[in-house]
Structure 1
Amino acid sequence: MEIAVVGSPEFTLGFQLAGVSNLYNPEGEEDLHSILRSLLNNKSVGLMVVDSTMLPTLPERLRDQLSASVSPTVLGIGTEEDTTLRETIRKAIGVDLWK
């Protein structure tokens, strides 16, 4: 299983330095939607890391698909506090580890 990272060049740089090779820097909303949809349907991707600042701009249906996806697991990561990771872990194992 592969890791795919979607975000700005500044966001994906750290992942590139860590050795991740599936990096996507969308140029506009349509490009972002297209990349996310194709990664959701890609069976070789097991984990999709997305810049959390991009998630609120997505259409509700696509956001629902991303949050419900098990394979690939979608993680929204950013500089602001976000409960996406907490909710993903809770859904995966059925326990809230932060309590």
Structure 2
Amino acid sequence: MKILVIGDRDMVNGFQLAGIKDVYEANDPWKIKEILDDVKFMKDVAIVIISRRMAQEIRDFLDEWKREKGIYPIILEIPDKKGGEFEDPMRSLVKRAIGVDILKR
């Protein structure tokens, strides 16, 4: 099983330096969706790493993609150099399911 990275040039270069060979440079939502559509048919991908900022831009697409694919590959959202606000997807799922934010700090 392999790890695949989708991100901007800096993110991709960083993971290549760390030894990840399967990297895809993408800077716009259409390119990311195109790459993920190709990943659907790859049987040997265990983890897809994508920046949180990019994932937020295509959240509806990712949610649908996860429903189709199940739990594999795992989508791992990491912060990029621009940072930004992030709400944990599990937190929003729990809130939507029961109607209350039980994880509120």
- The answer to whether the superposition gives a TM-score over 0.5 is yes
Q: Over residues 58-96 of structure 1, what are the superposed CA-to-partner deviations in whole Å (9 max), with x where a residue is unaligned? A: 161x22134544111110101455535xx4xxxxxxxxx
Deviation above 4 Å: which 4+ runs of structure 1? Answer: none
Q: Is the 8 A contact 2:29 2:54 kept in 1?
A: no
Q: Distance in 2 between matches of 1:8 and 1:44?
A: 23
Query: Quick one: structure 1 residues 19 and 83, their matched pair in 2 at CA, closer, same or farther if it must change by over 3 Å?
Result: same
Q: Is the 8 A contact 1:4 1:47 kept in 2?
A: yes
Q: Is the 8 A contact 1:66 1:74 kept in 2?
A: no
Q: Is the 8 A contact 1:48 1:75 kept in 2?
A: yes
Unpaired stretches in structure 2, ≥5 consecutive residues: 91-105
| More moved, 65-74 vs 43-52 | 65-74
> Percent identity between the aligned chains?
24
Is 1:56–2:56 an aligned residue pair?
yes
Q: Distance in 2 between matches of 1:71 and 1:25?
A: 22
The answer for the alignment partner of 1:26 in structure 2 is: 26
Larger radius of gyration: 2
The answer for the alignment partner of 1:95 in structure 2 is: none
Q: Is the 8 A contact 2:4 2:47 kept in 1?
A: yes
Q: Distance in 1 between matches of 2:6 and 2:12?
A: 7
TM-score for the superposition, normalised by structure 1: 0.71
Q: Over residues 3-26 of structure 1, what are the superposed CA-to-partner deviations in whole Å (9 max), with x where a residue is unaligned? A: 000000111222111100000012
The answer for the alignment partner of 2:78 in structure 1 is: 77
Unpaired stretches in structure 1, ≥5 consecutive residues: 88-99
TM-score for the superposition, normalised by structure 2: 0.67
Q: Distance in 2 between matches of 1:56 and 1:41?
A: 23
Q: Distance in 2 between matches of 1:82 and 1:24?
A: 25
AA aligned to 2:20 is V
Q: Is the 8 A contact 2:7 2:27 kept in 1?
A: no
